[in-house]
Structure formats: structure tokens, C-alpha cells
Amino acid sequence: MTGNAGAPQIGMTSLIRCPALTLVFLLGFTAVSVAADGLDVKIGYLRRPKHLETISLVQMPAPDDGLAGAQMAADDDDTTGKFLNQRFSLVDVHLKDGDDPAAAVQKLAAQGIKLVVTDLPADALLKAADAGKAGGMLFFNAAAVADRLRQEDCRANIVHTAPSRAMLADGLGQYLIWKKWPRWLLVTGSHQRDKLFADAIKRSAKRFGAKIVQEREFKDTGGARRTDSGVAQIQTQIPVFTQEAPAYDVLVAADESEVFAQYLPYRTWDARPVAGSAGLVPTSWDAANGLWGGIQMQSRFTRTFKRLMTALDMQAWTAVRMIGEAVQRTNSDDPKTMLNFMTGPQMNLGAYKGQKLTVRDWDLQLRQPILLTDGRTIVSVSPQEGFLNQYSELDTLGYDRPETKCRLQ
């Protein structure tokens, strides 16, 4: 086997005897001419504090939620990259309340960092991406589920590894239809993001032929719900709140603000299943997932960080692994070159989800299955059987090409 002048000569016997060399070969060694000085790839991780109080104490997010997944992926990239003379490292930027994400992006740019994974809400992400556009920076949205980021507010320099609200709602909706539960009682929280999730659920119902028999709003009035008296009050309040509803098959809750949904299972007036923000929950990842080699991923994460892996961890891990895959396949850390690879036919990311993942070229959303979990097991995985698409069944989740309002620029 011949190579470039000055490059090491590797025979098939060497590949068989040395697993490390085999890995390099599988990564496309013959197409990579490794520069003498290699590549030093620094990846920014931009996040801001979260103040969400969860109902369940066991669901309180860890301080390194998301960051841990990104760090594990950076270590994975670096381990593989060493064989190609490529080094990967993560630069954590933790914004404080009131900090300007655009200013943080400029500081990262001053360090020569052009690849940034973000754990930011939608508006902050847009500010960051717009600030980095002139410098050719590429951002990876690991957290924000807002549909508008994939629609009218899409950007040509934001790749989304977090699923959108529409994808989550469609993943759930397909399963409910498959179960022949077409009549939904929709209960929506009083906060704006609750209403946005409710909109996604209503879109999914219309798309798949379900009927929302009634929509009710659960107003957030505050109160100490974790006290003894608070629990007793909830036990009385929820049955009263859900009684006298039209006949329905499943109660679907839209409660991204974590105010009421966890109180619904086993407390509704009618004996009906609960789905959405509690009960059967759509997500990109869950600690219960052991499918498709996921048990190895979960075990390695738990050994390293002494906790379970969350959806945000997985979305951040996926973003950093996408970066590593693109750099290793193209032998370049140029954002434009990498993005062209990611949206092209050669992009096939393995992420413990049963199939290779690709990126939609019309809105830069990562195609991915949606897991449906009850918090202890994986109940199902969408897309469901019978939901077809001419290009990819994964495009039955979220906004397909004919539906998009995105104009990348």
C-alpha cells in the first residue's frame, strides 16, 4: 500500500495486528494527508445559568449538565485524533446573569475559536450566532428547542443537535396514533414556553389525524408545593381540575416550566394515561436507554462523572462528536468546509440511536429518532411504523422540506 511522500507505509498485516491503525484506516486514512504540525482544534462551550426548579428532587439538573457530555466527546475526539495528528480541547465559558453572549463570542474569536457549542435560550443563541457571523464562526445548538430557530429565525451558521419542539411533539403524536388513542385532552401551562409546546402538540394532532377534545390552562399561582400541605392540596386539586372533560383517550400536558405536569399521573378524575411533559415523555435521550450499544455509553459516562447522562449531555456530546467527525474526515477545521461535509451525503454520525444520523440541508437540523420514556424504561422509539417519507422516515418528525420557512443566510 503506497502513500504520500514521507508518509508512513502501512500494510494490511499491520492493520490486522494493530487495532489503532485499523481505526485510522476506517476513518479514511488514505484520503487524509496529515500535516506535519497537525491541527489543534479548540471548541467553545457557551452556557448560562439555569434557574428552573423541578418538581422532583431527583430531576434537579447537575451543575455540569451538558458540559459533561461535551467534555466526554472532546476526549473521544482527541483519542481518535491523535492518530491523525489532531488535538481537540474544550473551552468552557459560563455566562453570568446579565452577561452579553455577543461579547463572550468576541472573546472566543480573539482566542482563534471558530467552533462553538451552545447551551443557551433562543434569543441569546441568535445574538451569539449573529456576533460570530462576520468571523465565519459555526455554532451548534445543543439546548434550544424553539421551532422558530429552524423556521423564520434560522441561521446559516447554527447546526441543531437538540430536537425541535415539533420533532418532540411529532414523536409523541405518532405513538399515540399508533396506539389508537386519537382523542387528546390538552392541558397547557400559563407560561410562554408552555404555550409554544402546546402549539407544537396541536400541529402534531392536525398532522396525524388526532382530535384535541378540549384545552385547559393550568395557571401558575406559586406556592410551596413540596410541603406536606402542598402535596395534600395537589391531591385534591388535580381531580377537580380534570373532571367533567369530554371523553378522551390520553391527557397531554404542555408544561415546559415544570409547574404541574408531574402531579397529573394517578391523580386525574378519569383513569387515563398522561403524556407530554409527564408520564410518557418524548426526548432525545434518557438514562434508561440501553439500546443500540447505549449501555456502553451510559456506563462510561457514569464512571467518569458519577451521575446519569441526560438529554442535554447527549445533545452536547453529539455536537462535539460531529465536529470531530468532520475534522477527521476532511482534515480541516475550517467551519465552511466542515459544514459542507455535515450537510453532504458522506455525513453519517453514529450516536447510539439505531441508525446513522444526518443533517437536513434546508434548516441544519440533525435528523434523529425520538425516544419515548416513562422515566424508568424506553417505551417506544419514533418514527413509528407506517409513517413514511419519500427521503427519510426521520423527516416525519418536525418540519419537512415542503413545510419549511427557513431561508439560510
256-275, pLDDT tens digit by residue? 999 999 999 999 999 999 99
Which triple of cell numbers denotes residue 317? 456530546
Give the pLDDT confidence score for residue 373 in this predicted structure: 97
Q: What is the CATH number of the domain that holds 248?
A: 3.40.50.2300
Taking the C-alpha atoms of residue 273 and residue 161, their distance in angstroms, rounded to an integer, is: 30
End position of a domain, from candidates 251, 283, 315 = 283
The answer as to whether 391 is a domain residue is no
The answer as to whether 19 is a domain residue is no
End position of a domain, from candidates 248, 283, 318 = 283
The answer as to whether 202 is a domain residue is yes
- Residues 94, 50 share a domain: yes
Summarised one tens digit per residue, pLDDT across range 172-228 is: 999 999 999 999 999 999 999 999 999 999 999 999 999 999 999 999 887 655 554
- Residues 205, 94 share a domain: no
Q: Angle CA(31)–CA(32)–CA(34) in degrees, nearest 5?
A: 160
Summarised one tens digit per residue, pLDDT across range 191-200 is: 999 999 999 9
Binned at pLDDT 50, 70 and 90, residue 15 comes out as very low
Give the pLDDT confidence score for residue 121 in this predicted structure: 96
Whether pTM exceeds 0.85:
yes
Query: For residue 58, is pLDDT > 90?
Result: no
- Phi and psi at 96, nearest 5°, equal -95, 165
- Residues 141, 176 share a domain: no
Query: For residue 27, is pLDDT > 60?
Result: no
Query: For residue 41, is pLDDT > 60?
Result: yes
- Span of 3-17, 53-67, 92-106, 265-279 with lowest mean pLDDT: 3-17
Binned at pLDDT 50, 70 and 90, residue 35 comes out as very low
Q: Which residue has the higher pLDDT, 67 or 32?
A: 67
Taking the C-alpha atoms of residue 276 and residue 92, their distance in angstroms, rounded to an integer, is: 32
- Residues 154, 49 share a domain: yes
Taking the C-alpha atoms of residue 74 and residue 12, their distance in angstroms, rounded to an integer, is: 30
Query: For residue 9, is pLDDT > 70?
Result: no
Helix (H, G, I), strand (E, B) or coil at 212: strand
Alpha-carbon torsion 13, 18, 21, 27, what sign?
positive
- Residues 199, 57 share a domain: no
Across the chain, mean pLDDT equals 89
Q: Which of 301, 283, 316 is nearest to 119 (CA)?
A: 316
The answer as to whether 406 is a domain residue is no
- Residues 362, 223 share a domain: no
- Residues 145, 63 share a domain: yes
Question: What's the whole-number mean pLDDT along residues 355-382?
Answer: 95
- Residues 171, 158 share a domain: no
Give the pLDDT confidence score for residue 20 in this predicted structure: 43
Contact 38, 83 (CB under 8 A): no
The answer as to whether 404 is a domain residue is no
Taking the C-alpha atoms of residue 176 and residue 220, their distance in angstroms, rounded to an integer, is: 27
Taking the C-alpha atoms of residue 174 and residue 87, their distance in angstroms, rounded to an integer, is: 42
Binned at pLDDT 50, 70 and 90, residue 290 comes out as confident
Taking the C-alpha atoms of residue 189 and residue 219, their distance in angstroms, rounded to an integer, is: 6
- Span of 207-211, 233-237, 307-311, 341-345 with lowest mean pLDDT: 233-237
Question: What's the whole-number mean pLDDT along residues 347-373?
Answer: 93
Structural domain harbouring 79: 32-163+286-368
- Residues 262, 181 share a domain: yes
Number of structural domains found in the chain: 2
Give the pLDDT confidence score for residue 43 in this predicted structure: 98
Binned at pLDDT 50, 70 and 90, residue 51 comes out as low
The answer as to whether 392 is a domain residue is no
- Residues 176, 151 share a domain: no
Question: What's the whole-number mean pLDDT along residues 72-83?
Answer: 95
Which triple of cell numbers denotes residue 7? 508518509
- Residues 239, 343 share a domain: no
Give the pLDDT confidence score for residue 293 in this predicted structure: 87
End position of a domain, from candidates 283, 316, 333 = 283
The answer as to whether 373 is a domain residue is no
- Residues 135, 53 share a domain: yes
The answer as to whether 128 is a domain residue is yes
